[in-house]
Amino acid sequence: MHGCYIYIITLFAGEHVPKREDGAEVYLQLRILLNQTDKGQFRQLLTQFMSYLLHQGLNRFHEYFRAVYCSRVPSWAPCYREHSIVNTNMFLENFHRLLKTVYMEGKQNRRIDHLLSILLRIARDKAYERLIKVEKGKVTHRVSEIHRRHQRAREMLQKGVEVQMVAECKWLVQSSLDEMYTVQKVTEGCNCKLLCGHCKACVHMYTCTCMDALIHTTLCKHSHLAHMVGGAAGQAGQQEGEAGQQEERGQQEGGGQEEEEARQQEGEAGQQEERGQQEGGGQEEEEARQQEGEAGQQEEGGQQEEGGGQEEEGGGQQKGEAVQQEGEAGGNAYQELVQR
């Protein structure tokens, strides 16, 4: 009975509440008590409920409820069990029936090794069943419930149900009973399988104060509606952000192009100036080299003229020596003729 919501709302039936009219009133107050999500108000309603049982003379039910449930309120009260996946013991009872009637065939077991072997067989069979469901693409019960709540949220959106955004990632959603529930986005999503196939919302993305979300731990219609409205606003904001980013990138690219063009112009001007300096320096060096060449040519010409004069002077000396030799030879011949 630990946390079994279905058992709690039906425990008043039978010998504890004999009168039909008293049973209806007890059922109504018990449902109001179980639909309370605030802990302070729950404590107040619980005190009023216990006083009502004494006032109506339902002493037996009062003693039973006080002894069994008032001593361990956090174990069954929904306000203390928010987002608890297990809210009933029917799954445990179903597994116990499977173990006793199918695998153990109603026989009493006395050996622990035999029980462990049976549990391993159950785990193997459940794994095969899961693989077959995944391969066939079969939708689980919880996913089908999420899809059904998505359809209800679409109907609410078409009817124009009020959705107020009170803060970032937080909305107030109106219900069909004109009550306002608070939906808050707590994460961007995860890799779990409890995902809506239409809007891609996950059960862990939103929290809601409605009883459907608190008891069944599912993506309720209010969370679906907030996701639709917030998703549309988010897409519009995302588009605006993308447009702003594109504009900023365009401005940056335009400014970058202007800076690049300016740098290219500066580079070209610097190259032209450098070429001008190189050309001017080359011309000056060429003129200097030409002047040096002309000076060298003049010096070489002077040296050649000086060498020619020295050669002519040497030729004149040789001619003079030859004439002197001829004169001496003539004089010697004359003397020989006189002597004869």
pLDDT tens for 44-97 read: 989 998 998 888 888 888 888 888 888 888 877 777 776 565 556 677 888 999
* Higher-pLDDT residue of 243, 170: 170
Residue 118 confidence class, pLDDT cut points 50, 70, 90 = very high
Question: Residue 319 to residues 12, 63, 308, 316, 331: CA-CA distances in angstroms?
Answer: 166, 169, 16, 5, 18
pLDDT tens profile 178-198: 788 889 888 887 777 788 888
| Contact in structure between 89 and 1 (CB atoms under 8 Å) | yes
CA distances from 280 to 16, 20, 36, 239, 277 (A): 118, 119, 97, 60, 5
Decide if pLDDT at 237 tops 50.
no
Compute the average pLDDT of residues 116-120. 94
Tokens matching residue 288: 């200097």
Query: Could you state, in order of their start, the residue ranges of all structural domains in the chain?
Result: 1-84
- % of residues, the chain, pLDDT over 90: 11
**How far is residue 63's CA from residue 54's CA, in Å, rounded to a whole number?**
10
Q: With b meaning 16 or more CB within 10 Å and e meaning fewer, what string describes 210-222?
A: bbbbbbbbbbbbb
Q: How many CB atoms lie within 10 A of CB 116?
A: 10
Per-residue tokens: 248: 């900023």
Reply yes or no on whether the pLDDT at 230 is more than 70: yes
| Percentage of the residues of the chain whose pLDDT score is greater than 70 | 64
Q: How far apart are CA 32 and CA 35, in angstroms?
A: 5
For residue 328, pLDDT beyond 50: yes
Q: Measure the CA–CA gap between 298 and 291, rounded to whole angstroms.
A: 10
CB 185 within 8 A of CB 206: yes
Give the confidence band of 128 by pLDDT, cuts at 50, 70, 90.
very high
Per-residue pLDDT, 65: 85
Expressed in angstroms, the distance from the first to the final Cα of the chain is 185
Beta bridge pairs of residue 171:
165, 183
Q: What is the pLDDT of residue 113?
A: 92
Distance between CA atoms of residues 287 and 239, nearest Å: 70
What integer pLDDT is reported at residue 307 of this predicted model?
Answer: 55
Distance (Å, whole) CA 273 – CA 269: 6
**CA atoms within 13 A of residue 172's CA, in its CB half-sphere:** 7
The DSSP code for 195 is B
For 31, how many CA atoms within 13 A lie in the half-sphere containing its CB? 6
State the pTM of this model. 0.49
Nearest of 229, 222, 208 to residue 78 by alpha carbon: 208
- 11-15, 119-123, 320-324, 328-332, range with the lowest pLDDT: 11-15
